[in-house]
Amino acid sequence: MGLRTPLYGTHVSGGAKIIDFGGWDMPLNYGSQIEEHHAVRRDAGMFDVSHMCVIDLTGARVREFLRLLLANDVAKLNVPGAALYSCMLNPNGGVIDDLIVYFQSESWFRLVVNAGTRHKDLKWISEHAAPFAVDVRERTDLAMIAVQGPNAIAKTVPLLPPGGRAAALKIARFSGAELGSWFVARTGYTGEDGFEIMLPAEDAAAAWQALEAQGIAPAGLGARDTLRLEAGMNLYGNDMDETRHPLESGLAWTVAFDPVEREFIGRAALTRARAAGGPVLVGLVLEERGVLRSHQQVSAAGESPADAQRATPPAGEVTSGTFSPTLNRSIALARVSKGMGPKVLVDIRGKPHAARVVKPPFVRNGKALIEI
């Protein structure tokens, strides 16, 4: 038996197929992963993401601490509730984890980190927090439900604490607000609008049932993966890890090199990597039948004379691949030599298949952004 969220019993009685996910017993789907995917793109779906780890950081010097700890710069956060996506790097520039940081007050920031990395993250954060006298507290008392889709906000608002409904409609994208004992953030991992709600664990089952009664479809980790990949969002452990830095993981936009005076862990290594160049993370669309999957090898399509003369031909590897229910095609993220494409070949079960290099995201707000 694995770890279980406060909603485990609800999933089982809802007919979920349960799988092990990083030591957690989590719902893979409640019947059809593809139907759950479409529910989120076309209407509203919800995910139990209580396995993710909420960490509250408090202390007078917490902002100063986070400016050292994170590759993105929390100096950008000035309005309470404002959120920022960032990588947390090791001194080599490798990604220890990706996370969201919320600014609550000048002495209180909240992090949401991945489930599978919680122990090493807590250790790393605590070690570096000590000199700043920042208190690190894991909020195991909270559950988290992500409600996503074009109708997610409209269907969720009537269930919020009465005093908070008007405020909830005013939450800006990528920020959150405390509404009674709930923290409601307009963030997500699907490329659709919606809320991520952190709430007391004991409220979670009743909230889930009430959301379902509003017509919000329960969705599992299977749909969560196809949705995030269509949205061009990375998955930690697949698309980046401690051996890969953000610049070769499609995450250069999350690294705040300016201001140059700010020291952050990994900065020196990233500065060197930026000068050296290296592989890049791109999107792939498969032009044929089949499904792209992690670790498939990517090669240049048709040896051009320039390719043939190189000591090492351009090459790459799929880091995340799936079937896109919205595009009805297979899509992937792949780490490839810079400048490769647009036409490439992917080795699928021993046979070369034609694919095209594209710029993610593939789908946003229900719309295909890639021509098929």
Least distance CB 291 / other proteins (angstroms)? 5
Closer CB to other proteins, 117 or 330, in the complex: 330
Closer CB to other proteins, 113 or 292, in the complex: 292
Closer CB to other proteins, 178 or 317, in the complex: 317
Least distance CB 121 / other proteins (angstroms)? 28
Least distance CB 323 / other proteins (angstroms)? 4
> At a CB cut-off of 8 Å and minimum separation 6, what does 311 contact?
none
Least distance CB 275 / other proteins (angstroms)? 41
b/e map of 121-140 (b: 16 or more CB within 10 Å)? bbebbeebbeebebebebbe
Which pair of tokens denotes residue 49? 């993401």
| Residue type (1 letter), 289 | R
| Residue type (1 letter), 160 | L
Closer CB to other proteins, 179 or 348, in the complex: 348
Is residue 200 within 8 A of residue 5, CB to CB? The reply is: no
Least distance CB 73 / other proteins (angstroms)? 38
Is residue 369 within 8 A of residue 362, CB to CB? The reply is: yes
Cα-Cα-Cα-Cα dihedral sign, residues 184, 185, 186, 191: negative
Least distance CB 221 / other proteins (angstroms)? 11
Closer CB to other proteins, 160 or 327, in the complex: 327
Least distance CB 320 / other proteins (angstroms)? 13
- Classified as helix, coil or strand, 247 is helix
Is residue 53 within 8 A of residue 5, CB to CB? The reply is: no
Least distance CB 27 / other proteins (angstroms)? 13
- Classified as helix, coil or strand, 98 is strand
Q: Which of 281, 289, 294, 283 is nearest to 351 (CA)?
A: 289
Closer CB to other proteins, 19 or 122, in the complex: 19
Residue ranges binding other proteins (CB under 8 A): 28-29, 32-34, 222, 226, 289-291, 293, 322-323, 349
Closer CB to other proteins, 12 or 166, in the complex: 12
Which pair of tokens denotes residue 346? 């992917």
> At a CB cut-off of 8 Å and minimum separation 6, what does 149 contact?
39, 40, 41, 42, 43, 44, 45, 190, 192, 193, 194, 216
d(CA 244, CA 97): 11
Closer CB to other proteins, 9 or 31, in the complex: 31
